[in-house]
Structure 1
């Protein structure tokens, strides 16, 4: 990192905004909030280990922790407003926020306190139920506004207004409407709304994976992955950018947040990219695109992946299997983009002295692979539940942290107890950070539950008709509408909330319209499509916070950085459209390893061909007549069944078209290579002729 740089402060500021932790607290206040955060972590670990509670009670307690912590850490207003300065206090926790934190927690826990009574009067709430239910909705919307902005609360309010005003709307939008009793019963007092599937997944699974990521981050795994990537790739053309892609992908294994990914890897990779010649905007944009796509990486894939498993009703490992090829192919696309950008700008790698040693780096952090290997072993080999796999990996990582610090203390002759204390301090800080990171996820899931609950009241059918009417029954137009809506919606929402809203509204329609076209679109493909574009929305300008975080590090303009990062990411989005039409890319009904490897290999080559087209470059600048070769190769390699249907080939023989796609790609590569060699020869001849002319004029002879 350049001397005197202020990146850590800038990135810390963005991480605080991401978690909602923007207050500077006194000792007592820090103790209170820290205790709540640690208790939340211990509660979640106890659930995974030995504590047995009804799922509804678990969701309520989970929400109570999130709301209490949020109101204590995040002020009502981020900027001071005349006459309302008391709402933007950041140097202490005002009394009003203590009251809101208490009220939010108690309202969330009401379903726990009167569990039996609410069960007996389900659908017929008494006045007390209605009052507390309405207060819960209001406090939840306010807490969501504080931590993730106004977009999600506004959407929830619009849906609520639609639910109540339905009978009075024009015929096209008319809806039978709901009563206050039905609204509160469904949204606040049952598992159809706030306490629905999204919050259930957040409380049972997502917290543990976020905690695992926080533990790894506090232990130094982010820096280890970055240095390891630099040690392997730093010397090659555009090495720091390639290392940024690889390290962000590795960090994405355990981080569900693009902002957290950027502030972990960006302070190291962005200055190095600038050092070798990348313009600040493109250096920041590369980190933005790589960190945004980190949410695609199995096995964690952000909170939305676990919700996909619930919505599609499949084991979580089935979601990992389906997302594996698109995730790795998407990252390979970014890797290709960095190489082509470096080729276009003549950017080389790092000097040898700037590259960390591979073996030294590996020895210093090889222990970080142990809990990840444990996680994969539990998920893939033993087929244990995600929560059990994460719980056991966390226990192993806790032991590793304590042992590592004890060994360091002994080497430094500080005493064994000193090392153990240092390890426990890291664990405590990780527990607090994990809880803070979970606030936005838990509150987004709960607030999105309001929208899902309203859709399930009957509005979903009306919205389906409207969306289908806009698409006019055209599957291609429907996909474009869904992708565009996800990108626009995601500008103000976190990925999880964007996915929940779009999947609730459009995933079933994609399957229905595809069936009408004779296309067997799987429900998994439809949900992954919504998820994919919800992820890309993280860097959609002008709002994308990921771009602001990276541009602060690179000292570039945020909006141009966001546009460039979006252009990089959108160039990998071809895989999302392709797996809708070619379910083989998500390994739908494919269990053969050789078959999967063939599909993966074809997809990698297809992505490479597509990026050559998208970047306008291979070995040299593309000629117009070369473009059809790149596009043809990409189409055949991504979707051989498409060409098979065009030429009336038996679908079972479609993979015999692999050589055709590969041949097209090889032809244009060979031709570009020939063009480069010929251009070099011409340049040599020109230079030679100039040299001869100079010697003659200077009366010198060879």
Structure 2
């Protein structure tokens, strides 16, 4: 919490850094030999993770080490947690008490238990014996204590409740609806600690394989100076506009979101400069802090680096990382577009002054920034062509030649940077604020783009694994940190090469330490969340949650999504985004898909996971515990709770977008062509701007109530043209179930039939419906296409009964929740074939006409009132 004094004054730089470290990497900094020892442990952890991700790991590391890398990962995290995070607020910060040493070393040993006693566990069939179970129980308790220190009490409390349910779920005081048979200590500990179903499950595996490298990449890039460069560039481009500091804060935070996976660190890093300048041009303390919070938190949804949750989606959804960031791109982009527009409207509404004396039109600025981003994207995409030419021309030497070309490009860009002075952080409280000139400073940091290009190239073009892609980009950062200072010294003719190299080595070591310390919380979050996931798989409570949500929502999909969003927000008050995402997606993702199918809506799994993720990122915003809001208030000197509520209002588009893309998956670029994607992007951008204007009560001028309502309606029409068109022309024609084979025969290749299956639920025996999407992919007769589905039909008069399909059939998993062996049959209750329908994009025309009409109304009113256009 922030004390009362922070409401009237901002914290000092030292106090702000203490806030960041206590939240993200631990506030304890022991001195002397102990401090050196912990620094060495952090560096060793970082180097181990880099080596583990490298192409030579199989040749350098023993197989046992690679196979048990999750245990080693957790051992480092749990040891450093007890070293870096004090037990209590009153605990010492300058030294480590003996009990923390004992718990840290014991926790590391038990984390390595499966590695040390691997042969014994394998001989026992992967089950815990009477000794193992006690070590595992102590390990869980130490894990929960480490998570409490690093993440706050909420994570440990929730995990403890789930673990208690495993043991006491059969008790009479447990409600019947969630009661289960319970588990012995030996069985529970085997599941949670010995096997890969609990603590050492998918989440910790993702943290080990992928997340660490990306966190380290961000720490090294920031240490190299990229963060300050991005902020300077953003201010140089946008600072002179009306509300310029706020616009620069949004863009700068989006850029630093590539570097920092922590919204709190992002707030403090960019906020110490942006918030005072926002206040200077007229933003209140709370609004200035809220802008920084909203833009910093959204850094987690911006591809290509989206934090730990994106890598978890790869495992949970079963698609590639490229597909995840492709689906996530459009909502993230339009979310940031809307935030820039929000601060623009705030500036216009309050007629805020501009900074500096430069006069540059917003149109030229937007065009210039768009040209930069398009050019950068084209560079990332276009680099594949010379690479392919080199690879095909000299296949045996291509790696060496490409490495040499990257080195030459780096040296050339560094020589360019050496022609200008190094960028120093500006003082936002100076009497006169001199905004950077982009044409003068852009050369000083162009070489920072090289690691990002390498990362994007390997991720998007080569489609290598995220871990390997981050490894090559991180390796380049190693070179940059070691050489940028001495090479600049040489290019400038200075005699400081040796000292510069020494400073580079220090920067690299500090970056390795920062990367490791920033990973402590993430490692413990993913491990602790594994207990919750393990409870779901062991007890089957997920099905109970599905029944409970279905009961509370009355089977209504909108109500169910609202409940899932509310659950994410409530958990988000105490959990970091990654842990929140793991918990809610484990409990609810399958529920949304299943209940959506029962409601006749086919919801892609990736859409559900992004829905949960978007609500999860609100963890750092939502009052009364939004940590990013407290951090922003600490910088601005404003009220933390009010800052949180304003930030929540600014983040309304982040809450609205998930509801939109659940029903309109075009926004996730699912099954759209290039031209359709461009059109969807254009219309979605207009829609989010119009929605923002409607909710802000200001468009070209102050909006009347009916104009605001109309703007929100226009936004809905642009976001959901299918909803409007379906009311004009139904998209499907209903066919009798007995005519299913005929419908298959008449369908064209590429058509999709929706088949509603009705029957008794396998667990409860209650009758339920589910909708299957049957894709017609091949030519053939109706009977041949029926065989391809794997359906076994048993017509009885007007009823089209079904028998249980074979396990290998395409829809076996979808039908596994039905009981085919009761007296009540499983049958096809409805068949919907595609009907002729006008293109839904036609709805854009009346929506844009209505928008033009509102523009004319407001322009006319502005003319009458003498307001300049």
Common fold: TM-score over 0.5 = yes
Q: 1:655 maps to what in 2?
A: 841
SS of 1:25's partner is coil
Change (3 A) 1:610 1:68: same
- How far apart are the structure 2 equivalents of 1:124 and 1:339? 61
Range with bigger deviation, 594-603 or 304-313: 594-603
Change (3 A) 1:422 1:646: same
Kindly indicate whether the alpha-carbon contact (under 8 Å) linking 2:11 and 2:637 is maintained by their aligned counterparts in 1: no
Counterparts of residues 687-698 of structure 1 (less than 5 Å): none
SS of 1:156's partner is helix
- How far apart are the structure 1 equivalents of 2:305 and 2:261? 7
Counterparts of residues 356-505 of structure 1 (less than 5 Å): 356-410=436-490, 411=492, 413-457=494-538, 458-505=540-587
Counterparts of residues 138-177 of structure 1 (less than 5 Å): 138-168=141-171, 169-177=174-182
| Aligned residue among 282, 288, 293 for 2:293 | 288
Query: What CA deviation, in whole Å up to 9, does each residue of 1:281-308 have, x standing for no partner?
Result: 1001100000011100111111011001
- 1:611 paired with 2:692, answer yes
Query: What CA deviation, in whole Å up to 9, does each residue of 1:560-603 have, x standing for no partner?
Result: 1111111111243221110000011111123x222211111111
Change (3 A) 1:299 1:652: farther
- Large movers: runs of 4+ above 6 Å: none
Following superposition, the deviation at residue 661 of structure 1 comes to 2.1
Counterparts of residues 510-589 of structure 1 (less than 5 Å): 510-589=592-671
- 1:207 paired with 2:218, answer no
Following superposition, the deviation at residue 5 of structure 1 comes to 7.6
Range with bigger deviation, 119-128 or 37-46: 119-128
Range with bigger deviation, 208-217 or 615-624: 615-624
Q: Which has the higher strand share?
A: 2
Following superposition, the deviation at residue 33 of structure 1 comes to 0.7
- 1:506 paired with 2:588, answer yes
Range with bigger deviation, 362-371 or 623-632: 623-632
Change (3 A) 1:215 1:627: same
Change (3 A) 1:614 1:10: farther
SS of 1:312's partner is helix
Q: 1:642 maps to what in 2?
A: 723
Query: What CA deviation, in whole Å up to 9, does each residue of 1:340-396 have, x standing for no partner?
Result: 111111113211362101022211111111111111111111111111110000111
SS of 2:722's partner is helix
- How far apart are the structure 2 equivalents of 1:120 and 1:613? 66
Q: 1:680 maps to what in 2?
A: 866
SS of 1:354's partner is coil
Q: Which has the higher helix share?
A: 1
Change (3 A) 1:19 1:5: closer
- 1:595 paired with 2:598, answer no
Q: 1:83 maps to what in 2?
A: none
| Aligned residue among 669, 675, 699 for 2:855 | 669
- 1:57 paired with 2:68, answer yes
- How far apart are the structure 2 equivalents of 1:10 and 1:208? 29
Following superposition, the deviation at residue 69 of structure 1 comes to 0.8
- How far apart are the structure 2 equivalents of 1:469 and 1:121? 43
SS of 2:654's partner is coil
- How far apart are the structure 1 equivalents of 2:301 and 2:175? 41
| Aligned residue among 99, 112, 115 for 1:112 | 115
Consecutive unaligned residues in structure 1, runs of 5 or more: 81-87, 684-702
- How far apart are the structure 2 equivalents of 1:30 and 1:206? 26
- 1:325 paired with 2:330, answer yes
Counterparts of residues 258-277 of structure 1 (less than 5 Å): 258-277=263-282
For normalisation by structure 2, the TM-score amounts to: 0.75
Following superposition, the deviation at residue 123 of structure 1 comes to 5.3
- How far apart are the structure 1 equivalents of 2:554 and 2:456? 44
- How far apart are the structure 2 equivalents of 1:395 and 1:358? 29
SS of 1:37's partner is helix
Following superposition, the deviation at residue 402 of structure 1 comes to 2.2
| Aligned residue among 30, 42, 50 for 1:25 | 30
- How far apart are the structure 2 equivalents of 1:676 and 1:17? 51
Range with bigger deviation, 88-97 or 199-208: 88-97
Following superposition, the deviation at residue 207 of structure 1 comes to 0.3
- 1:96 paired with 2:93, answer no
Range with bigger deviation, 162-171 or 224-233: 162-171
Aligned Cα root-mean-square deviation (Å): 1.6
Paired residues in the alignment total: 670
- How far apart are the structure 2 equivalents of 1:380 and 1:177? 46
Following superposition, the deviation at residue 631 of structure 1 comes to 1.7
For normalisation by structure 1, the TM-score amounts to: 0.93
Query: What CA deviation, in whole Å up to 9, does each residue of 1:137-163 have, x standing for no partner?
Result: 000000000000110111111111222
Following superposition, the deviation at residue 172 of structure 1 comes to 2.0
- How far apart are the structure 2 equivalents of 1:124 and 1:57? 17
Q: 2:250 maps to what in 1?
A: 245
Consecutive unaligned residues in structure 2, runs of 5 or more: 1-8, 358-432, 731-835
Q: 2:228 maps to what in 1?
A: 223
